[in-house]
């Protein structure tokens, strides 16, 4: 993967004129944060991958790790490569198989050191030197690889002979075509838990096929430095948390337990960093209950049984209007998908305009998730207008 990358524009600057002690926030609308430029760049380069973009940005700002699971060809690796191309940093990529050896991740054995009776690895260019790492077909790797990654991911340390190296890893992104199941899940339980954010990546909807096939999407370029990301991590860490958000977190954990989903201590503690990252990414100055929506991808264990239950509990507590927003976006997508000609385009455009008005009303009431839906629906309407209205 290339590590020489250069610049673009962005949206989503934080509110102006509000000071938070210890947090650096731009003072004019023209000073856009680097992390917002990364987000904007990724949206320009990828089709219908807003959730995955949000997940990977949340992970890097929280200094956590993310796992994408989905069928082949759903842009899991593309999202990660595009993300790494936006940041001037050292990155590392590897594709695992059942025949992969630890050398592929951690570097070859140092022959010179071995002749002197020391067992060390040459880590130059390997994962221990990377700031961003991408591991494809993650669960095909051996237990030896996964066990070595446990300490690297959690403590950011790598034992190299008698030395213990501090590694600069900001985030490790892993991809797999399937969730581990049965005995495989039990064997991978420890490493599975190291991924704070875990998402199922689905194929894009049929109404975006035209954009995927015919749009000339730009290649990602550098818009941020390593220092920018470290600053974002520090700014997010310093954000205060409202009492409302703390109470909502306690309610979510208790309600999930009633539903048979027990949140582990480590996951519970690390969730704070993701919640603060979510607040930072939207430009917030204090963590609100709505920022806890990020827990939908965090507070569950069994990928087959838990995600839907967890989503229902979390959304009911932190954003009751969230389901209405989803309904409105779905209605807009359905209206646009049904357009076949000019007349149909006019009818759909009017319906979508009414939907956008309701979404903007919810946004005006302080519902942050409405903003994402507004952006998605507006993009779809624009593509429909180009295709059927000649605009």
Rounded to whole angstroms, how far apart are CA atoms 175 and 201? 10
Are 34-225 and 239-318 equal in CATH topology? no
Length of the chain: 391
* Cα-to-chain-centroid distance, residue 206: 23
Tokens of 5: 């990358």
Read off the pLDDT band of 25 (50, 70, 90): very low
- Could you tell me the pLDDT band of residue 391, with boundaries at 50, 70 and 90? low
pLDDT at 12 over 60: no
**Domains in the chain: boundaries:** 34-225, 239-318, 322-388
Calpha distance 10→12 (Å, rounded):
7
Q: Is the pLDDT of residue 9 over 50?
A: no
DSSP string, 163-185: EEEE----EEEEEESS---HHHH
Burial tier of 27 (Cβ tally within 10 Å: 0-12, 13-18, 19+)? exposed
Q: Please report the pLDDT score of residue 187 as a whole number.
A: 80
Predicted confidence band of residue 8 (pLDDT cuts 50, 70, 90):
very low
Q: Provide the pLDDT for residue 367.
A: 86
pLDDT in tens, 189-238: 899 999 999 999 999 888 788 788 888 889 999 999 999 999 999 999 99
Q: Which CATH number fits domain 34-225: 3.40.980.10, 1.10.10.10, 1.20.120.350, 3.40.50.300?
A: 3.40.50.300
Q: Indicate the pLDDT class of residue 32, thresholds 50, 70 and 90.
A: confident
Judged by average pLDDT, the poorest of 182-196, 246-260, 291-305, 307-321 is 182-196
State the pLDDT at residue 10: 36
**CA atoms of 315 and 252, how far apart (whole Å):** 9
- Which carries the bigger pLDDT value, residue 337 or residue 42? 42
- Confidence class for position 239, pLDDT limits 50, 70, 90: very high
Distances (CA, A) of 51 to 20, 193, 226, 310, 319: 28, 20, 23, 17, 17
Architecture of domain 239-318: Orthogonal Bundle (1.10)
Contact indicator for 108, 149 with CB cutoff of 8 Å: no
The CA distance from 314 to 174, in Å, is 25
Structure tokens at 206: 């049929």
Residue 231: which of 9, 24, 8 has the closest Cα?
A: 24
CB–CB of 194/65 below 8 Å? yes
Q: Tokens at residue 256, please?
A: 């999930």
Over residues 64-81, the mean pLDDT reads 95
User: How, if at all, do strands 163-166 and 171-176 pair?
Assistant: unpaired
Percent of the chain, pLDDT > 70?
92
Identify which of 17-26, 30-39, 146-155, 225-234 has the greatest average pLDDT. 225-234
Task: Extract the tokens encoding 63.
Answer: 């200094």
Strands 197-200 and 171-176: what pairing? Answer: unpaired
Tell me how far the alpha carbon of residue 321 is from its chain's centroid: 23
Strand arrangement of the beta sheet that strand 66-69 belongs to:
91-95, 132-136, 171-176, 66-69, 197-200
Residue 12 phi, psi dihedral angles, 5° rounding: 100, 25
* Predicted local distance difference test score (pLDDT) of residue 206: 80
What pLDDT score was predicted for residue 237?
98
């Amino acid at each position: 993967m290339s590590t020489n990358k250069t610049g673009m524009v962005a949206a989503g600057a934080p509110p102006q004129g509000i000071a938070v002690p210890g947090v650096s926030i731009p003072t004019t609308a023209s000073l856009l944060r680097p992390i917002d430029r990364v987000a904007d760049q990724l949206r320009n380069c990828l089709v219908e991958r807003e959730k995955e973009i949000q997940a990977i940005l949340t992970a890097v700002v929280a200094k956590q790790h993310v796992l994408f699971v989905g069928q082949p060809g759903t842009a899991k690796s593309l999202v990660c490569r595009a993300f790494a191309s936006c940041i001037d940093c050292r990155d590392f990529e590897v594709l695992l198989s059942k025949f992969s050896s630890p050398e592929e991740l951690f570097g070859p054995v140092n022959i010179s050191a071995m002749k002197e009776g020391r067992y060390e690895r040459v880590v130059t260019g390997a994962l221990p030197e990377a700031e961003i790492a991408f591991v494809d077909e993650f669960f095909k790797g051996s237990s030896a690889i996964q066990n070595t990654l446990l300490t690297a991911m959690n403590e950011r340390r790598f034992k190299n002979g008698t030395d213990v190296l501090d590694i600069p890893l900001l985030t490790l992104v892993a991809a797999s075509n399937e969730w581990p199941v049965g005995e495989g899940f039990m064997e991978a339980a420890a490493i599975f838990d190291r991924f704070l954010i875990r998402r199922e990546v689905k194929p894009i909807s049929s109404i975006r096929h035209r954009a995927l096939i015919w749009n000339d999407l730009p290649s990602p370029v550098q818009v941020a430095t390593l220092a920018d990301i470290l600053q974002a991590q520090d700014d997010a860490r310093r954000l205060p948390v409202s009492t409302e958000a703390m109470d909502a977190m306690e309610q979510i954990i208790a309600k999930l337990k009633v539903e048979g989903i027990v949140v582990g201590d480590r996951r519970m503690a690390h969730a704070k960093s993701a919640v603060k990252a979510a607040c930072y990414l939207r430009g917030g100055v204090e963590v609100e209950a709505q920022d806890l929506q990020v827990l939908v991808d965090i507070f569950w264990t069994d990928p087959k049984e838990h995600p839907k239950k967890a989503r229902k509990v979390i959304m009911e507590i932190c954003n009751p209007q969230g389901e209405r927003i989803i309904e409105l976006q779905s209605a807009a997508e359905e209206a646009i998908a049904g357009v076949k000609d000019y007349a149909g385009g006019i009818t759909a455009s009017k319906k979508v305009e009414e939907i956008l008005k309701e979404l903007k009303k919810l946004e005006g009431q302080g519902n942050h998730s409405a903003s994402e839906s507004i952006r998605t629906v507006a993009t779809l309407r624009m593509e429909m207008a180009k295709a059927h209205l000649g605009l």
